[in-house]
Each structure stands twice: as structure tokens, then as C-alpha cells.
Amino acid sequence: MSEWFVEEDNKEIRFSCKIDETLFEGKSDYQDVKVVNTLAYGKMLILDGCVMLTETDEFVYHELISHVPLCYHKNPKNVLVIGGGDGGTVREVLKHKEVEKVILCEIDKMVVDVSKKFFPEVAGELDNKRAEVFIGDGIDYIAKHENAFDIILVDSTDPVGPGEGLFTKDFYKSVSRALKPGGIVALQSESPWFKKAFLERIQNNVGGAFQHKKAYIGPVTSYPRGLWSWTMASHDATLFDAPNLQRFRAVSKGLKYLTEGMLTTVFDIPPFFKEKIKS
Amino acid sequence: MSEWFVEEDNKEIRFSCKIDETLFEGKSDYQDVKVVNTLAYGKMLILDGCVMLTETDEFVYHELISHVPLCYHKNPKNVLVIGGGDGGTVREVLKHKEVEKVILCEIDKMVVDVSKKFFPEVAGELDNKRAEVFIGDGIDYIAKHENAFDIILVDSTDPVGPGEGLFTKDFYKSVSRALKPGGIVALQSESPWFKKAFLERIQNNVGGAFQHKKAYIGPVTSYPRGLWSWTMASHDATLFDAPNLQRFRAVSKGLKYLTEGMLTTVFDIPPFFKEKIKS
């Protein structure tokens, strides 16, 4: 008998994948954690019934959330990743030799453990000497740090459940304080196809804490509605002018999605999305 | 009782949309034709069980298949669209004032009729003075024309059923003969996430008839695997160098997806896709 994983979005659409094998099912203090092997996407990490990553397309999300801010920053040395317990974002950050240290602050230890066991290609760099894993609440962690990071990447789940607090204006203000001068925050900011009010709220909250912000997009076809967005924010407008291509070229050989052309024009987003978020 | 439209791809994944109302169901000489209203995507045209377009996101596909070749061509005056009976591609082509005539050659009259009735925003320009609709087989039509078009757009269904013949090397050779010197063909070339052998075959067939070709991508999230590709081919390598930005700016005000940045870097495709199609 065949089993299907089904993710339903807003009672309107369903994304279903045929499951070859269920590899792990657990319940952490925060969420249901599941790993399945699917015919279409290979291994898949599922949190509270939502796809977090698949081994075949995870590179799109992870390259976009990390290399865009890393290449637009002037001199990124200290990076903090909030969420992202699968380690994919940390793996991409560490491709930049200038980065001296990357700290991962993940609330759910089970996500880290399961990722290390079932997704070694994704989580493998969590054991890198330049990486440090801190299990704890991202909001508390950020509140305790001031002027500490060049880049903060908010690699969160959706603004429901454990990820909810990572989308508030207060949180972004806290992020702003935790950044050094010239610092950049980048966050996943949901699908451009989602409802205007929902997307606008995220953008308004970021805009309430940072003087400048720009969204960008990329295809994450295992997520609801297939197209995804990230938002980069800073107090320094000049950071958005142009990426450091020398820095990009130093890491580009190992990339599977992001190209120099895309990076250079990354903030030139589709008018339909621009209009929705008024940016 | 709620009804869902379900499209299954390769027995591996399913894309399902909740149907609000079924507006049309018919059987033409070539295929099953269906129009439903969905909660997530609005009205949707379905041919042989596959989504052809939805009213909320059709602009992505139609802008990409048309404006890329139109802006990279030196002087596009005569355009032929094969397939595309919904009229969306013709609508985009006609935004270019330089285009003197666009002919649509669609095999299935029912697709044109249904589109005019249920998708007036998409099909409305089929009645434009500069447009001509020819109901007939694209392969025969092309074979009867030589040195006749500046641009040919192959806006076909998948390479199964009525669309099959539009993916062969013989067809592309026929397309090559139907083009004027400096002519360009652009075709939908399936999802970059599909299997390598399938994608390579399409590229090899195009490459067997044209000296130069480049693929490009865009998100069509109502299609299987969400990310889509098109391929532009020509005998003139210089056409791929840079788009005519003046021409793009003349039409860009009305566009919802394509931006100048995207157009300029459109052939800089993700390494994972480049590797798959060896181009």
C-alpha cells in the first residue's frame, strides 16, 4: 500500500509526495519531527506537517539566504544563524573564508540531531571548527547580545508555532541592536504568492526596525506555492548597491543555484511582488 | 462536498487545488478541455488533466516565453505562435509596437473558444487587428512556410499527446527553414527538475537544428515541480549578447513578472540545470 505525505496550505492547495520509507518520527518539546524518503525529492525533513527541506532542492533556499547578505556585506566575520537547525545555512556561510565564526542558535535539539543523522550532506559542517551550535531560544539569545554580529540570518519556520516570535517588530529591533555597525539581517519572508496582508505585515515589522530593506525571490518548489522570498535589511543603504563579486567568485564554484547574474540583479523583483509589499 | 483538482506527475507527486466551481467540461477532437474556478489560483484551464494556465499566475509563463526573444531579436516584425490557443502569448507579443503581425496556429479550436469565453483577460488580444488565428496543425503549417517569420514561439503542451511532434528534431529543422535570417525560436522546455535524459533529449533536438541555443528559467508554480524552463535558439550567436533595453522599457510598464535585471541576466542559469542539459 502506498503512503503519501500531504501538506495542505490554507485549505486551498495540497502538495503530496509518495513516500518510499518513513525513516524517523518523533515529538520534541516544540514540534513533531519526521523524516521520510520520497520518490520525487529524496529524503525530506518535516516539522509539524510542513516540509522544511528536501535533499534534492535544499541548496536553493540555503544559497539564497546566505550568499546574498554575505556578498553584499562589506566585511563579514561574525555570523549568527537563528533557527536553521538542519545546518544547511551554516554550511553555506562557512564557504566564505573571511567568516571567522558562525553561531547557530536553534531552539529544538531534535532538529539538529535528526539532521546530523539523516542529512549529513546538509548538517555536516555543524562540526566545523568555525561553527558553534547553541541550543536555545533565539529571542533570548539575541536580547543578550549587543554590537556582536556582522550578519544575522533568521532561518525560521513560518510565523506560527515555534517560529512566531521571530517575525515581530520587537524581535527585529533586538536583531538591530545585536548587529555591529554596517550589519545586515536576512530572513525568510514567505511566498510572494501569499496574501498581501500577511506579507505586508512581515515587511512592516522589518521596516519598523531597519531603515533600509529589500526583498528577493527564488524557487523553493517543495514549499507551498513554490516560489519563496527572503528579505535583507540594514541601516546602511549603500550596502544594497552592488555585491562583492570577488567574494562571490571565491565561493561560486561549489554553488548549484545562485549565479553571478542572479546575485547582481537579485533585488530587481517582479512588479507583482513589489506592489504587494510596497517596496 | 468539496471537490479537488488533482494533477499527478510521474506517480511521485500530486498538486491539488480545491475547486469552487466547474465552469466547463468538454472533449475536443484532440483532448479533454476543462475550466474550473479554484480557491487558490482563480480560474484554471486544464487540458487532458494537466494545468495549462491559471488566471492568477499566467503572466509569468507568457511574459517569459515572449519578451525574452522579442527583446533579444534585432528587429521583430512577424511573429508566429504555435500552440498557445489561450492567447496569452499573443497578448504579450502585441505589446511590442514594432510587431506588424502575429499569427497563432492552434490545433484545437475548442481551446481558443473556451479561452475567449472564460479568460477574456488572456485571450482578448486574439481579436486585435495585428493578430490572426489559424486553426490547424503546427507541423503542417510550419512545413508550408519558408523564410517567413522573425520569431517563432512554440507554446506547446508537454511532449505527449497533441504536443509530441513539436519536440522533434525534424520539427525544429522545419522551424529553422520557416525563420528569416537572424530569426529566433523560443519554446517551453519543461521543468529543470525533471529527469536529465528527458531534458537532454529536448535540448539535443533543438541543438540538432540550430547552431546556438540557451535555456532560461522562471517560476510557474501551478505546473509540476513549480520551476519551468524555456529555450531560445538561433543561427546567430550575437543575438544572445544583450537585450534591446529600449524595446524592453517600452513594454515594461505593463509587466507583472519580468524586470530589466532579470532580462539582462536571463541566460545565466543555475549550475544544477546547466549541468543537466550541458549548455
Inter-chain contact A258–B269, Cβ cutoff 8 Å? no
- Checking ipTM against 0.90, whether it exceeds it is yes
Tell me the average pLDDT across B213-226: 93
- Match 525560521 to its residue by C-alpha cell: A156
**Per-residue pLDDT for B266 more than 80?**
yes
Tell me the average pLDDT across A229-249: 98
β-strands B131-135, B149-155 pairing: unpaired
Nearest to A259 among B4, B221, B270 (CB): B270
SS3 B83: strand
Q: How far is A5 from chain B (nearest CA, A)?
A: 9
Query: What's the burial of A265, exposed, middle or buried (CB within 10 Å: 0-12/13-18/19+)?
Result: buried
Residues A21-62: pLDDT tens digits?
999 999 999 999 999 999 999 999 999 999 999 999 999 999
- Match 545555512 to its residue by C-alpha cell: A89
Residues A161-203: pLDDT tens digits?
778 888 999 999 999 999 999 999 999 999 999 999 999 999 9
DSSP letter for B100, please.
Answer: -
Position A224 scores a pLDDT of 84
Q: How far is A226 from chain B (nearest CA, A)?
A: 5
Tell me the average pLDDT across B156-167: 84
Inter-chain contact A256–B262, Cβ cutoff 8 Å? no
Query: pLDDT above 70 covers what percent of chain A?
Result: 99
Inter-chain contact A12–B262, Cβ cutoff 8 Å? no
Question: For the residues of A45-106, what is the DSSP string, one character each?
Answer: EEETTEEEEETTTHHHHHHHHHHHHHHHSSS--EEEEEE-TTSHHHHHHTT-TT--EEEEEE
- Find the catalytic residue in A155, A158, A236, A268: A155
**A214, A232 contact by CB (below 8 A):** yes
β-strands B179-188, B227-234 pairing: antiparallel
- CA dist B191 and B276 (Å) reads 11
Residue of B nearest to A10 (CA): B40
Nearest 5°: phi and psi at B208? -75, -15
**A83, A135 contact by CB (below 8 A):** no
Q: How far is A28 from chain B (nearest CA, A)?
A: 28
> Could you tell me the pLDDT band of residue A279, with boundaries at 50, 70 and 90?
low
10-39 of A, contacting B, C-beta below 8 A: 10-18, 38-39
- CA dist B223 and B217 (Å) reads 13
Beta bridge partners of B186: B153, B232
Position B279 scores a pLDDT of 63
Tell me the average pLDDT across B118-131: 98
User: Residue B59: its chain A contacts at CB < 8 A?
Assistant: 272
Residue of A nearest to B276 (CA): A256
Residue of A nearest to B218 (CA): A219
Query: Which three three-digit cell numbers place residue A63?
Result: 544559497
**A127, A55 contact by CB (below 8 A):** no
User: Residue A257: its chain B contacts at CB < 8 A?
Assistant: 270-272
**B237, B201 contact by CB (below 8 A):** no
- CA dist B162 and B223 (Å) reads 18
> Could you tell me the pLDDT band of residue B159, with boundaries at 50, 70 and 90?
confident
User: Residue B270: its chain A contacts at CB < 8 A?
Assistant: 60, 256-259
191-230 of B, contacting A, C-beta below 8 A: 193, 217, 219, 221, 225-227
**Per-residue pLDDT for B162 more than 80?**
no
- Match 508555532 to its residue by C-alpha cell: A161
Residue of A nearest to B195 (CA): A40
Inter-chain contact A221–B12, Cβ cutoff 8 Å? no
Closest by alpha carbon to B7, among B221, B183, B167, B153?
A: B221
**Per-residue pLDDT for A205 more than 70?**
yes
- CA dist B242 and B99 (Å) reads 20
> Could you tell me the pLDDT band of residue B224, with boundaries at 50, 70 and 90?
confident
Cα separation values, B216 from A59, B12, B71, B92, B219, Å: 19, 25, 14, 18, 11
B155 among known catalytic residues: yes
Residue of B nearest to A268 (CA): B261
Beta bridge partners of A45: A35, A53
Query: What's the burial of A200, exposed, middle or buried (CB within 10 Å: 0-12/13-18/19+)?
Result: middle
**Per-residue pLDDT for B84 more than 70?**
yes
**A220, A226 contact by CB (below 8 A):** yes
Q: What is the amino acid identity at position A158?
A: D
Q: How far is A124 from chain B (nearest CA, A)?
A: 21
Residues B169-186: pLDDT tens digits?
999 999 999 999 999 999
**Which of A227, A267, A276 best tests the B interface by mutation, with the highest count of B CBs <10 A?**
A227
Residues A64-83: pLDDT tens digits?
999 999 999 999 999 999 99
**Per-residue pLDDT for A148 more than 90?**
yes
**B77, B153 contact by CB (below 8 A):** no
Position B275 scores a pLDDT of 95
SS3 B109: helix
Any CB–CB contact under 8 A between A254 and chain B? no
Inter-chain contact A40–B13, Cβ cutoff 8 Å? yes
- CA dist A35 and A43 (Å) reads 7
**Per-residue pLDDT for B164 more than 90?**
no
- Match 507583472 to its residue by C-alpha cell: B256
Query: Which three three-digit cell numbers place residue A252?
Result: 561560486
Task: Give the length of chain A.
Answer: 279
Nearest to B40 among A4, A12, A18 (CB): A12
| Mean pLDDT for chain B overall | 96
**Per-residue pLDDT for B10 more than 90?**
no
SS3 B99: coil
Q: How far is B262 from chain A (nearest CA, A)?
A: 7
Could you give the domains of chain A? 3-54 (2.30.140.10), 58-277 (3.40.50.150)
Residues A96-140: pLDDT tens digits?
999 999 999 999 999 999 999 999 999 999 999 999 999 999 999
Question: What's the CA dihedral at A194, A196, A198, A203 to 10 degrees?
Answer: 110
| Mean pLDDT for chain A overall | 96
- CA dist A226 and B227 (Å) reads 8
pTM: predicted TM-score of the whole model, two decimal places: 0.96
- CA dist A138 and A156 (Å) reads 10
